[in-house]
């Protein structure tokens, strides 16, 4: 099994004709993903890939979700915590930050996820899912 880094996946999914290095690397990335019998994508790589697609290449949430749905559907690719990523994708498509969606998807066994991050995360979570509650604590709690 061969593990993949973010840049291999970015070259596979993004056509960047303005970057000469990318033009040379894209066919190599395609060959790796299509011809290798067994590949592994760490969860940290998926998190970084989402950031690269969103922040650098300006992919819209729907485009990002399409990339991950394709990646999760490749038989030769074993993606760490694929089920967790799959749970996070509809949340991401509907406006939740991908990292927040992964946090929430990984907290399904908990009664709440506490955050000081922002109330938007808590509102979006309430609107998009009835899973684990996202709570912004506003006072000291006696029973954490």
Expressed as residue numbers, the domain containing 85 is 2-107
Residue 91 in any domain: the answer is yes
pLDDT in tens, 96-141: 889 989 988 888 888 888 888 766 777 777 777 777 778 777 766 6
Residues in contact with 71: Cβ distance below 8 Å, sequence separation at least 6, in sequence order: 9, 41, 46, 77, 79
Residue 103 in any domain: the answer is yes
Please tell me the pTM assigned to this model.
0.85
Residue 138 in any domain: the answer is no
- What pLDDT does residue 139 have? 63
Residue 113 in any domain: the answer is no
Q: How open is the CA angle 84-37-2, to the nearest 5 degrees?
A: 65
- What pLDDT does residue 11 have? 96
Please state, in angstroms and rounded to a whole number, the distance separating the CA atoms of residues 18 and 87: 34
pLDDT in tens, 24-72: 999 999 999 999 999 999 999 999 999 999 999 999 999 999 999 999 9
pLDDT level of residue 78 (50, 70, 90 thresholds): very high
CATH label of the domain that carries residue 38: 3.40.50
Instruction: Give Dmax over CA atoms of the chain in angstroms.
Output: 59
Residue 120 in any domain: the answer is no
Residue 112 dihedral angles phi and psi, to the nearest 5°: -160, 155
Q: How open is the CA angle 58-63-65, to the nearest 5 degrees?
A: 120
């Amino acid at each position: 099994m061969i593990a993949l880094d973010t840049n291999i996946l970015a070259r596979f999914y993004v056509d960047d004709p303005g970057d000469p290095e990318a033009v040379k690397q894209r066919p190599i990335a395609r060959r790796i993903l299509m011809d290798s019998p067994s590949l592994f994508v760490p969860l940290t790589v998926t998190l970084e890939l989402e950031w690269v697609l969103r922040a650098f290449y300006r992919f819209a949430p729907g485009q990002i979700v399409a990339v991950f749905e394709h990646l999760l559907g490749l038989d030769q690719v074993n993606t760490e915590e694929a089920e967790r990523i799959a749970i996070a994708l509809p949340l991401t498509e509907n406006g939740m930050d991908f990292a927040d969606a992964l946090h929430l998807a990984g907290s399904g066994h908990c009664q709440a996820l506490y955050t000081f991050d922002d109330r938007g995360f808590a509102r979006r979570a309430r609107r998009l899912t009835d899973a684990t509650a996202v709570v912004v604590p506003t006072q000291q709690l006696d029973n954490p």
